[in-house]
Amino acid sequence: MRRRLDFLRRSLRAEGSPSSPSRKSSLAWLVRGLSFIPAVVATASALAGDPLPAGLAAARSDLTPKDLARVIAVTRPTADFSKPEPFELMQGGAGTSRKDVSRDAFSQPSANITFEEEGTFRLGNALFRKNWVSSPSSTQASDGLGPLFNERACQNCHLKDGRGRPPEGGAGTTSMFLRLARDASSEEERAELAARKLLNFPDPVYGSQLQGLAVPGLKGEGRMQVDYQEEKVTLAGGSVVSLRKPGYSVDGLGYGPLDPRTTLSPRLTPPMIGLGLIEQIAPADILAHADPDDRDGDGISGRPNIVGDGASGGLTLGRFGWKAETPSIREQAADAFAGDIGISTPEAPKHWGDCTAAEKACLAMPNGVQQRLGPVEAPPPVMDLVTFYSQNLAVPARRDIDDRQVLAGKKQFYEMGCISCHTPKFVTLRGTPNKARAFQLIWPYSDFLLHDMGPGLADGQAVGDATGSEWRTPPLWGIGLTGTVNGNMFFLHDGRARTLAEAILWHGGEGQKARNRFAAADAANRDALVKFLESL
């Protein structure tokens, strides 16, 4: 410990004057980001008064003291914006894709997997793109669709492995969904939430997600409707940005009214890149950034979403989904199979998907279980391949990292306080199931924690520990290629923002100070910050 503290003192002395923004950023990082400091361990362990769940260590056990010192040094926020940092180009570590930028930029395999694993990746890709059909069908390995569903294939929601889009113009709603949920209404239900047996409670008729499509002979549940109101924001220098504020409703409900307590939460499908690397960030490194009581007084809290672990039956750290509600890629895939396509898996053996007891016509439909293939519609080999594919979609390399405007924008990103939530760097675990993801320096620009983003972005829907105004910090890597891959620019959880500047201006709550600094900056600094984001 003494040697580590000496290292910290040397690091602090190297950061410049006490009043410099870069020094303040480094101080905040040192206070919040080092899991071996007892005070930080206590903060990470508090978790709203609960003890740290078994299996979530408060410090990394995979690193020697020498390795720990290296990790501290390499992940410390930079104070030098005159040139790119070492390894900054390879934002996905050794697995970064160096392929030419194209619409397929998010669909490349990790560059450091083996030749044999590339074959596994391509089989997983085929299943990810596979269209499921309704039962009964002659294509017995592909039936089981629905009966209620949002899409027939994973790829149809994760367009080109990138983000979805809101329903507007000629676009459908299949890459943005409405989550349906209500809070607990009895002591028994509150006890279930406290024990984390459930994240929230579905609508009694329509379940946990509105599904607009159905197999032949059945009607869909309804159609999402979005209405926008434009709001003008004036920035420093007099330029005006128009923000669109959405309102959500459901048209053509097929099975009666929604429960009056049910909330509607729109969710845009997020990009798939880098998921396997996120899965291998040490829980201690994420928890070390948590500051639920804002002990350092910077206005940024950051809370983990502790959720049930379907694999172990215990509790663990949620890190995927807009509210960090899912702990692993495999569980995320199983939830999507059940909720979006209506396909049962070993992890979610729901042969009728999200159909509820009130939807009797749905439950009367045949399912696609083939006994010769096992008791579910997507047996373990399917889940193995889809999970492997999802774990190994490569992060594309950075672009223009030595461009003067990009470097100036990076400085603005740091000095405006964006890195308080969008943590630039992590080093993955030493011991990983696949060595391609072991001990990799990665640049996701996220702390994977929940932050209150204010009333403007609130959906009013609690999910586990996440309140109705909290969202997980989304990773920013690849965000500059959104237009190239998806042919559009829609950001935030519901795609309301049509530009990166709009996305920033929607930040409230814990992001309000950074948002205000952006709005008050001169046009050159705003443009530089956006240019930096476009290089990610």
Q: Using one digit for the tens of pLDDT, what is the confidence trace for 500-531? A: 999 999 999 999 999 999 999 999 999 999 99
Q: Mean pLDDT across the chain, nearest whole number?
A: 90
101-155 pLDDT, tens digit each: 999 999 999 999 999 999 999 999 999 999 999 998 887 778 999 999 999 999 9
pLDDT at 367: 94
174 and 281 share a domain?
no
pTM over 0.85, yes/no: yes
Expressed in angstroms, the distance from the first to the final Cα of the chain is 36
| Confidence band, pLDDT 50/70/90 cuts, at residue 51 | low
Task: Verify that 211 and 347 share a domain, yes or no.
Answer: yes
Domain boundary among 391, 420, 440: 391
> Which stretch of DSSP H or E encloses residue 226?
strand 223-234
Is the same domain home to 151 and 34?
no
Query: Does residue 214 share a domain with residue 247?
Result: yes
Q: Is residue 410 situated within a structural domain?
A: yes
Last residue of a domain, one of 391, 413, 429: 391
Q: What integer pLDDT is reported at residue 140 of this predicted model?
A: 73
Looking at the fold, whether 266 and 402 belong to one and the same domain comes out as no
Q: Give yes or no for residue 84 having a pLDDT over 80.
A: yes
Q: What SS3 class is residue 286?
A: helix
Structural domain contains residue 457 = yes
With a cut of 80, say whether residue 441 has pLDDT above it: yes
pLDDT for the residue 141: 79
Query: What's the one-letter identity of residue 432?
Result: T
200 and 65 within one domain: no
Distance CA 230, CA 245 (A): 6
How much is the pLDDT for 213?
A: 95
Residue 74 belongs to a domain = yes
In a domain, 121, yes or no: no
If asked whether residues 103 and 205 sit together in one domain, one would say no
Q: Inform me whether the pLDDT recorded for 234 exceeds 50.
A: yes
Rounded Cα distance, 27 and 48, in Å:
24
Residues making up the chain, counted from first to last: 536
Find residue 426's DSSP bridge partners: 442
Strand-pairing partners, residue 213, are 149
* Residue 409, in any domain of the structure: yes
Residue 249 three-state SS: strand
- Do 95 and 147 fall into the same domain? no
Which pLDDT does position 19 carry in this prediction? 35
Verify that 156 and 236 share a domain, yes or no.
Answer: yes
Question: 9-18, 39-48, 281-290, 378-387: which range is least confident on average?
Answer: 9-18
| Number of other CB atoms surrounding residue 298 within 10 Å | 17
Q: What is the pLDDT of residue 47?
A: 46
Domain that holds residue 458: 2-78+90-109+275-304+393-534
**At which of 391, 408, 425 does a domain end?**
391
* Domain tally, the chain: 2
**Sign of the dihedral through C-alpha 265, 269, 271, 276:** positive
157 occurs within a structural domain: yes
373: confidence class by pLDDT, cuts 50, 70, 90: confident
- Say which residue the tokens 């994760």 belong to: 158
Query: What is the structure's pLDDT at 168?
Result: 77
| Inside any domain, residue 470 | yes
Q: How confident is the model over 309-324, as pLDDT tens digits?
A: 988 899 999 999 999 9
Residue 335, in any domain of the structure? yes
Tokens of 339: 């909720």
The whole-angstrom separation of Cα 301 and Cα 41 is 15
| 370-379, 401-410, 496-505, range with the lowest pLDDT | 370-379
Q: Same domain for 60 and 176? A: no
Among residues of the chain, what percentage have pLDDT more than 70?
A: 89
Among 132-141, 176-185, 285-294, the minimum mean pLDDT is found in 132-141
